[in-house]
């Protein structure tokens, strides 16, 4: 996918796994989020009750099909094996996962996202072939157990001021109340878990977020 296209897909980037959906079916959650206007989806199966092996594969496959029907790119968090098995549209890795340069080699020209917290990490990720950077946590989050301290939208401004010009997506505690600040700071999009997966009305919450990104 061309960089311009990736940038457009980052606009409203929804991330979830079964643990983020409470007692709702992740397939329904994803369908409603798509109806609300998400532009990219990442399957992120984490936590104590996380699905494993066959179950994880089956859910991933279902979610991928929902994405394919809606022409929304389907990304996988961390699990490069799964992404390759499914022929997913891409993978997102953090600093503690398989090194981005190896992931790039294994994934060919698929989308590669890398989480970066410092300018050095950003330079390394770009050198390794990242298509975009995930920067955060911007605001405090309850969705990631080992999240670092929230840095505010200033963190994104800092990356832009240091000539980090690749596509950037902000992450962490982003809601319809603060999404605009993240974009104004220089992000191409926002990625959210709870603002969508935790909303009572998923489609409406997604639409609300969407209006803040224009
Ligand atoms: N990485 C940094 S913060 C975060 C991840 C995966 C969690 C984002 O979830 P939420 O609910 O949108 O704050
Ligand atoms: Mg990771």
Whether pLDDT at 192 is above 80: yes
- Crossing angle between the packed helical segments 154-161 and 119-128, to the nearest 10 degrees: 60
CA atoms within 13 A on the CB side of 1: 22
CA of residue 186 to ligand 2 center, whole Å: 23
Catalytic annotation present for 54? no
State whether ipTM is beyond 0.95.
yes
Separation CA 172–CA 155 (nearest Å): 12
Name residue 74's beta-bridge partners. Answer: 41
CA-proximal residue: ligand 1, atom 4 (nearest): 172
Tens digit of each residue's pLDDT (9 = 90 or more) over 59-108: 999 999 999 999 999 999 999 999 999 999 999 999 999 999 999 999 99
Separation CA 33–CA 50 (nearest Å): 21
CA atoms within 13 A on the CB side of 54: 0
CA of residue 91 to ligand 2 center, whole Å: 10
DSSP per-residue codes, 86-111: HT-SEEEE-TTSS-HHHHHHHHTTSE
Q: What share of the chain is helix, strand, coil (3-state, %, to 5)?
A: 45, 15, 40
> Which of the pair, 214 or 111, is modelled with greater confidence?
111
Separation of CA 114 from chain center: 10
Structure pTM? 0.98
Which ligand 1 atom minimizes the distance to the CA of 94? 1
Tens digit of each residue's pLDDT (9 = 90 or more) over 117-153: 999 999 999 999 999 999 999 999 999 999 999 999 9
CB crowding 188-210: b at 16 or more within 10 Å, else e: bbbbbbbbbbbbeebbebbebbb
Structure tokens at 39: 């532009």
- Catalytic, out of 115, 176, 191, 212: 115
């Amino acid at each position: 996918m061309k960089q311009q296209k990736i940038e457009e897909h980052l606009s409203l980037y929804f991330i979830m796994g079964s643990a983020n959906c409470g007692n709702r079916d992740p397939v329904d959650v994803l369908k409603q989020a798509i109806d609300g206007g998400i532009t990219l989806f990442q399957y992120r199966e984490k936590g104590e009750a996380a699905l494993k092996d066959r179950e994880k594969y089956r859910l991933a496959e279902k979610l991928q099909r929902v994405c394919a029907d809606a022409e929304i790119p389907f990304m996988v968090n961390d699990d490069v094996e799964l992404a390759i098995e499914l022929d997913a549209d891409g993978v997102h890795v953090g600093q503690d996962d398989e090194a981005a340069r190896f992931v790039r080699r294994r994934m060919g020209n698929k989308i590669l996202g890398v989480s970066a917290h410092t300018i050095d990490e950003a330079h390394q990720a770009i050198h390794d072939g990242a298509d975009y950077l995930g920067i955060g946590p911007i605001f405090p989050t309850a969705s990631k157990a080992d999240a670092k301290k929230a840095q505010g939208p200033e963190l994104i401004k800092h990356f832009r001021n240091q000539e980090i010009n690749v596509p950037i997506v902000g992450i962490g505690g982003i809601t319809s109340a603060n999404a605009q600040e993240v974009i104004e700071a220089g992000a191409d999009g926002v990625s959210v878990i709870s603002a969508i997966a935790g909303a009572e009305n998923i489609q409406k919450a997604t639409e609300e977020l969407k209006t803040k990104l224009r």
